[in-house]
Structure 1
Amino acid sequence: MAKSEEKEESSSSSEGGFKMKKELTLIDGVAIIVGVIVGSGIFVSPKGVLNYSGSMGMALIVWVMSGILSMLGALCYAELGTMIPKSGGDYAYIMEAFGPLPAFLYLWVALFILVPTGNAITAMTFAQYIIQPFWGDCKAPVEAVRLLAAATICGLTLINCYNVKWVTRVTDTFTATKIFALLIIVAAGFYHLFTGHWENFHAPMDGTNWGPSHLALSFYNGLFSYSGWNYLNYVTEELKNPYRNLPRAICISMPLVTIIYVVTNIAYFAVLTRNDILASDAVAITFGDRMLGVASFLMPVFVACATFGSLNGAIFASSRLFFVGARDGHLPRAISLIDVKRLTPVPSLLFMCLITLALLIVSDVYVLINYVQFVEALFITISVLGLLYMRYTMPNVSRPIKVNYILPITFFVICVFLVIFPCYESPVEVGVATAIILLGIPVYMVTIWWQNKPKWLQKLFDNFNDSCAKLFMCIPEQVYEKGL
């Protein structure tokens, strides 16, 4: 047994109480990162990268650079995650570096935009691909898609409430399925390429959009497909030996995803022309119709599996963000409760489920993607700035992983670029997203900063928290040293 494992087991044995278990292994960590990242994006969104980059050559460069950029960010987050080994990801890091208000603002937008919007879109995509074959050439009714999406969200929420091991089994199974699907695309595409069909790669840089705003937006679309590289940081407290397994999981999963994404896009470009891709609503489906013949029906099934697995991982990881936020007093106390039998954050999972279901009712939920990308890039920038800031203010804090200064500085500069330039190209979306963030300030002042609340209001909050504890058979997390 490795010394780090012995140390962790010794620490665990000396610590008692009532808390969530460390059940995630290195393989589970890799599966969570790969499972969350490889959702519908690589099957659906390559046309977004191509549209803004303008050429196949530049699109491939964007895919490679997006993977490298995500890897840089993941390595920075490995240092943050081992220096601050708490679940909650960006929320925990921003809290440590800049205090409660900026951390609350991240929690605020994550609660109402980042997490539920991403989950709602993923669920809608899954439902669309599952239900469309039953309607043939006609478009499936929106009500049927929403109903199936809602049922999927509720079902996965129940699995997450019941048992963490069930969650990891679902994640591992569907991660393997989606990787298999991408390998089929790569095999078919490279077979087509090596049988002499190189015509799509003649003059690959023709039509490139070199404008900074277009490049930034093409990176937004590429990075959207890599979204989820920081999700393992949300569940650090449930990862076995996080000092070792967190950076290892990142170093295994990010190069793997980047290689798979790049070769998958080469396969797409080998078979489909630029106009074919730009005219397609789902590139993988168009590819399957062109190359797989009678087996083309498998591609919608694979896309559905990819989105299902991604949604499962996102629900698991993001529920820990709200759990930690409530534990720190930034959300109602009820959300920080743990099921007494299963040791899962049931109220947090159910709370997130309700918000996601509410977003399914919104007819233009997909419009929120533009807001999501700006907000996510902004707060990742703040988190990395926090890493640099804590290098200066907390030089003696233990850092099991310490990356070279060049990495966080490079990543920070690129993130600033991605935040600033879309302001010129999409000012309305940026303005709305900024307004939503600023709206969190008065909410913070009333609910958290204001200490001397009226007794009737405080009693109302206490009654709500106590009712949730009784209803869901949950109690607060309790940690103590044995023998005290």
Structure 2
Amino acid sequence: MANPIKNNKAPKTVGLQRNLGLLSAVNIIIGVMIGSGIFVSPTAALKYSGSVGMCLVVWTLSGVISLVGALCFAELGTAVPKSGAEYAYLIETFKEQNKFWGPLPAFICAWVYVIVLRPAEVAVIVLTFAEYSVQPFSHLIGLDKMTQEDQTQIVKLISLLALGIITYINLVSVKLYLHINNIFSFCKVIACFIVIGGGIYELAIGNTKNLSSGFEGTTSNPGFIALAFYNGLWAYDGWSSVTTVTEEIKNPEKNIPRSILIAVPIITALYVFMNCAYMTVLTPTEMIESSAVAVSFGKKVLGPFSFIIPLGVALSTFGCAMSIQFGVTRLCFVASREGQFYEPMSYVHVKRNTPAPAVALQGLITFIFILVGDIETLIEFASFLIWFFYGSAVICLLILRRTKPHLDRPYKVPIIIPIFTIGVAIFLSTVPVIAEPSLKFLFAIGFLFSGFVVYVPMVYMKKKPFFVEKLSHAIQVLFEAVPSEEPKAL
């Protein structure tokens, strides 16, 4: 038999590889945080705050709050060197506390993110990509002359094609993903600068009427202020994305905190100045009534070059969808490695070192959501849980400081920061329920309960359907996938 080890060299480790340097880590955060929202509908903060001045305060403070939360995750990401972000911290904190209840919070987190929330987000984002990618060419292909039903079918077809490309990229190579994401992140930042540049030009020629209203009309309703912050912080979601891929970051003890300290302030500045630009050119009524604020802005400022805006939205959404899928596949990978999801989802391609089965699963779930359509409601009923899980992860930070003080913590935040973040998380996970009571929140609770129903037989009791062994073998053969090694402590 031939010796598999040649030239006395050790075989290459099969598993996730540390391919992401500081620039790539920064671009992952930018790739997830800047999606379609800042271009299409950054109006809710203005609507609920009541004035231009208060709206800018909301956008600025939302960026600061996001940075504070991200710094908590920076400590967690360096103390618990596993991919998966919230899931990894929940499983590390509670799995040894109680045989039944201990692993349950982490499983519910993975259940929500992997099965519904993240693939549904990717579906909505690629549909937005499809819609805006055809806008500059609508006259050429006769889209404006088609019926609404035909237009919808074309948008769905393009979105499925985009999903196929995104899934292929994440299947075949992490380095390919990094190269493409770096390019798209650069392009979306350029699109933001074009909007900001247009606003600066308008101010330079004396168009200050809209901004001169300042804080006039600011709401005194605490509930409306709460909703303004809720919508502002929703636009910043994605600041934890770098900790979802901790096992692939080079020198994570340095690059995770650094990437957060670079990316989040950059995005905060872009968001604040873009809103200044919007509110310079458009009246509050025009902004609130516009179906796509950046497009309305482009028509007024850019003239014949207004096609740049839908092109920018298309680039931004494609990169965002690709990065969200990249991150959630790592969460699926880690949950499966912990024995809480189907084991082959923790296998990696023997040569490419990508979690191929997990990527394929996410592509399949997203494919179903695109075909079904009307997924905005699905996201609405589950999205308020995001800050619930953020808050749970930060509680883990406090618990781990007490129960595992021996953990090496290359980065450590002052105690006031996690306490403040937990308060914000409680606030944001309860505001939607109190402000707009709806049956959709009962559906969310029902979905959480369905996770519990799955957890008891499949995870706690470790029951397996009769076909699992054959299916596992087929997945290994189809994806050339093998079990990976767990990461070592930093």
TM-score interval, smaller chain? over 0.9
| Structure 2 equivalent of residue 83 of structure 1 | 79
**In 2, are the aligned partners of 1:26 and 1:248 still within 8 Å (CA)?**
yes
**Could you report, residue by residue, the CA deviation over 1:444-469 in whole angstroms, capped at 9, with x for unpaired residues?**
00111114x4xxx4542222111111
Contact 2:247–2:487, Cα closer than 8 Å, also in 1: no
1:183 aligns with one of 172, 189, 193:
193
Secondary structure of the 1:330 match is: coil
2:283 is aligned to: 273
Find the aligned partners of 1:205 and 1:422 in 2 and give their Cα distance: 25
1:254 aligned residue: 264
Residue 380 of structure 1: aligned partner: 390
Query: How far off its partner does 1:290 sit?
Result: 0.4
Aligned to 2:37: 41
**Cα shift at 1:57:** 1.7
What letter matches 1:122 in structure 2?
I
Query: Which position in structure 1 is the counterpart of 2:123?
Result: 120
Is 1:469 the counterpart of 2:479? The answer is no
Alignment match of 1:289 (pick from 291, 299, 304): 299
2:352 aligned partner: 342
Higher mean C-alpha displacement, 319-328 vs 52-61: 52-61
Does residue 357 (structure 1) correspond to residue 367 (structure 2)? The answer is yes
TM-score, normalization by structure 2: 0.91
| Matching residue of 1:27 | 23
How far off its partner does 1:123 sit? Answer: 0.4
Contact 1:45 1:221 in 2 (8 A): no
Q: CA deviation at 1:204?
A: 2.5
Task: After superposition, give the CA deviation of every residue in 1:190-228 in whole Å (9 maximum; x if it has no partner).
Answer: 110122111102332233333333223222221222111
CA distance in 1, matches of 2:225, 2:93: 31
- What corresponds to 1:8 in structure 2? none
Distance 1:334 1:212 in 2: 49
Q: Report the counterpart of residue 443 of structure 2 in structure 1.
A: 432
Match of 2:311 in 1: 301
Question: Structure 1 stretches of 5 or more lacking a match?
Answer: 1-12
Q: 1:24 aligns to what SS in structure 2?
A: coil
- Note the C-alpha offset of 1:73: 0.7
- Does the C-alpha gap of structure 1 residues 383 and 31 become closer, same or farther in structure 2, counting only changes over 3 Å? same
Matched, 1:445 2:445: no
CA RMSD of aligned residues (A): 1.9
Amino acid at match of 1:396: H
2:144 is aligned with 1:136: yes
- Give the conservation status (yes or no) of the 8 Å contact 2:85–2:244: yes
Q: Give 2:106's aligned residue.
A: 103
Identity %: 38
Q: 1:16 to 1:480 in 2, by over 3 A?
A: farther
> In structure 2, do the counterparts of structure 1 residues 24 and 136 end up closer, same or farther at CA, with 3 Å as the change threshold?
same
Counterpart residue type for residue 21 of structure 1 = Q
Aligned-residue offset at 1:174: 0.7
Counterpart residue identity of residue 284, structure 2: R
Q: What is the CA deviation profile of residues 368-406 of structure 1, one whole-angstrom value per residue up to 9, with x for unaligned ones?
A: 232232010111111111111222222232111110001
CA distance in 2, matches of 1:309, 1:238: 19
Q: How far has the Cα of 1:432 moved from its partner?
A: 2.2
- Whole-angstrom distance in 1 between the partners of 2:220 and 2:447: 31
Structure 1 residue 16: deviation in Å?
5.9
Report the CA distance between 1:479 and its aligned residue: 6.0
Task: Write the letter of the residue equivalent to 1:478.
Answer: E
Q: For the residues of structure 2 that align with 1:119 and 1:20, how far apart are their CA atoms? A: 23
3-state secondary structure, aligned to 2:359: helix
Instruction: Give the CA deviation at 1:480.
Output: 10
Question: How far off is 1:84 after superposition?
Answer: 0.1
**CA displacement at 1:75 relative to structure 2:** 0.2
Output the amino acid matched with 2:50.
G
The answer to whether the 8 A contact 2:287-2:293 is kept is: yes
430-439 or 84-93: which moved more?
A: 430-439
* C-alpha contact (below 8 Å) 1:231/1:317 kept by paired residues: yes
Alpha-carbon distance in 1 for matches of 2:132, 2:299: 15
Deviates more, 1:109-118 or 1:216-225: 216-225
Letter in 2 for 1:412: I
State the SS of the aligned residue for 1:427: coil
Instruction: State the one-letter code of the partner of 1:131.
Output: V
Equivalent position SS for 2:18: coil
- Asked whether 1:211 is paired with 2:214, we answer no
TM-score (norm 1): 0.92
Distance 1:120 1:279 in 2: 25
What is the distance in 1 between the residues matched to 2:44 and 2:353? Answer: 41
Distance apart, 1:144 and its partner CA: 1.2
Alignment partners' CA distance in 2, 1:256 and 1:198: 25
Distance 1:221 1:373 in 2: 11
Query: Which one is further off, 255-264 or 457-466?
Result: 457-466
Query: Which amino acid letter does the alignment assign opposite residue 238 of structure 2?
Result: G
Alignment match, 1:59:
55
- 2:454 corresponds to which letter in structure 1? V
Query: Matched residue of 2:455: which SS?
Result: helix
State how far apart, in whole Å, the 1-side matches of 2:145 and 2:46 are: 27
Tell me if structure 2 keeps the 8 A contact 1:94–1:382.
Answer: yes
Q: Tell me how far 1:242 sits from its aligned partner.
A: 0.4
Per the TM alignment, residue 20 of structure 1 is displaced from its structure 2 partner at its CA by 1.8
Shift in alpha-carbon separation, 1:226–1:14, aligned structure 2, 3 A: farther
Q: Structure 1 355/479 Cα, relative in aligned 2: closer, same or farther at 3 Å? A: closer
Residue 362 (structure 1) shift: 2.6
Partners of 1:480 and 1:244 in 2: how far apart? 17
Change (3 A) 1:14 1:62: farther
Cα displacement string for residues 259-308 of structure 1 (whole angstroms, at most 9, x for unaligned residues)? 11101110111111001101111110000000001101111111101111
Question: Deviations for 1:243-262, whole angstroms, at most 9, x for unmatched residues?
Answer: 01111101110111101110
Distance between the aligned counterparts of 1:60 and 1:274, measured in 2? 13
